[in-house]
Amino acid sequence: MSTTYIVQKLWNLCHVLRDDGITYHQYVTELTYLLFLKMMKETDQEKQLPKGFRWGELEAREGVEQLNFYRELLLHLGTKSSGRVQAIYANAASSLKVPRNLKKLVDSIDELDWYSARSEGLGDLYEGLLEKNASEVKSGAGQYFTPRPLIDSMVHLVKPQPGEYVQDPAAGTAGFLIAADRYVKAETDQLHALRTAQQLFQIREAFYGVELVQDAHRLALMNLMLHGIEGDLAMGDTLAPTGATLRKADVILTNPPFGTKKGGGLPTRDDFTYPTSNKQLAFLQHVYRGLKPGGRAAIVLPDNVLFEENTGVDIRRDLMDKADLHTILRLPTGIFYAQGVKTNVLFFTRGTRDTGNTKAVWVYDLRANMPSFGKRTPFTREHFADFEKAFGSDPLGKSRRKDQGEAGRFRKFTRDEIAARGDNLDIAWLKDDSVQSAEDLPEPEVIAAEIVEKLRVAMEEMEALRAELEAP
């Protein structure tokens, strides 16, 4: 029984819960509570759970008694257990109201082929479930889930190494941290090539970050635990003082949330040179300030970061002074839940001094004349093949590169040329001749989700403007 089959079987259970009023996101959270208990049993780790509040005790009950015990179990694990278990169940509450639905979930989980699941990797099973949730437009979970082909390409190019600190200040479900751990393990043959102290560092300290939303935080903790990663994942706001206390990183990989800071306020950190309510610009400051000298970063950002005036110009100049912004990847549209948002990946290296680090910026256009991605045309790692070849093997962006000219996708722009543009980095030169056929048009629910997302961003911007006008 393959992981894909098990994931599909688990996902199909969500249809059982429709009559109980359970949303997709609530379902995955509910499933996390139950899967954690079962996986602790299957991996002989139940000693981490308080006696009397384990899978066997839940499975042995039925009807109203089982549902009441389940609610008691969630409360107990969230308040009386310790460490990561308590963090996963913090403020946990069941959305289930009908006892037979809980019974159906417990029985279905118990009937899975856990031998196959263990052999293929419980972490991969859980990751597949999160990806399934993110791909379901109605769940809204795509905002916490960066497409795995994009993550894998970014990690492959930045090349995290054993002994390096890897940070994600907007961790979501921890996809970047897990992919970085997977890359290091592949490079060191599952860490066997490292000494014991180095192995412990990789498990306990190398990967860390912050996540603001509690449900996403608990999903991330579960994901990290199933992948054998024990690094610190704090729940909090990176744009608040929490972010200023994070350890300087050798590598930062992240996809910050879109939009403005809620309430229109500015970040509450006092170490930002350029205060702004634009969360992406604030996160960009955090990233280049949070790197060690020589540290590498890859960050997903929407187009507005590349062209926004006033404070946006100041932050881009500061970035190009303090870091070598060597590469910008213009991403295709339609690869995120928020379909209308156009995004890029900025690759840069923190300099050993604070001025004049960027000499030239290479821009790769993977947006023009690309398919309309969606269910009919999946976005895969193969779509990055030409970009990765053009980028080269040096994670610092120092490989020999070729300017492909006005007809090509990869071009070089000197710092002087960028300055002449007013430090506007939204650079495009290819004529986009792609025309969507009726078959390529997005699903109706995708179009609806795009409209909802645009309305949400517009309302946040109006709220921010109103707050600024009402400020004394």
Provide the phi-psi class of 322: left if phi over 0, else alpha when psi is between -120 and 50, else beta.
Answer: alpha
Residue 201 to residues 43, 163, 179, 212, 241, Cα–Cα distance (Å): 23, 7, 17, 25, 26
Instruction: Read off the pLDDT band of 440 (50, 70, 90).
Output: very low
> Does residue 271 register a pLDDT over 70?
yes
> Does residue 463 register a pLDDT over 70?
no
Which residues 6+ apart lie within 8 Å of 417 measured at CB?
Answer: none
pLDDT value of residue 211:
94
pLDDT value of residue 437:
41
Which residues 6+ apart lie within 8 Å of 192 measured at CB?
Answer: none
Mean pLDDT of all residues in 371-383: 83
CB 129 within 8 A of CB 246: no
pLDDT digits (tens, 9 = 90+) for 199-215: 999 999 999 999 998 88
pLDDT value of residue 461:
61
pLDDT digits (tens, 9 = 90+) for 133-181: 766 644 444 455 688 899 999 999 999 999 999 999 999 889 999 999 9
pLDDT value of residue 337:
55
Please report, as a single letter, which amino acid is at residue 326.
H
User: Rounded CA gap, 46 and 352, in Å?
Assistant: 48
User: Rounded CA gap, 17 and 13, in Å?
Assistant: 7
Instruction: Read off the pLDDT band of 394 (50, 70, 90).
Output: very high
pLDDT value of residue 266:
65
Runs of H (alpha helix) within 208-252: 214-226, 241-244
User: Rounded CA gap, 393 and 460, in Å?
Assistant: 41
What structural domains does the chain harbor? 3-120 (1.20.1260.30), 142-450 (3.40.50.150)
Mean pLDDT of all residues in 85-103: 91
- Name the average pLDDT for the chain: 86
pLDDT value of residue 1:
55
Residue whose C-alpha is closest to residue 170's, from 223, 217, 226 = 217
pLDDT digits (tens, 9 = 90+) for 287-327: 999 999 999 999 999 999 999 999 999 999 999 999 999 99
Edge-first strand order for the sheet with 291-302 is: 233-235, 207-211, 166-168, 249-254, 291-302, 343-350, 323-330, 360-365, 410-414
User: Rounded CA gap, 145 and 173, in Å?
Assistant: 7
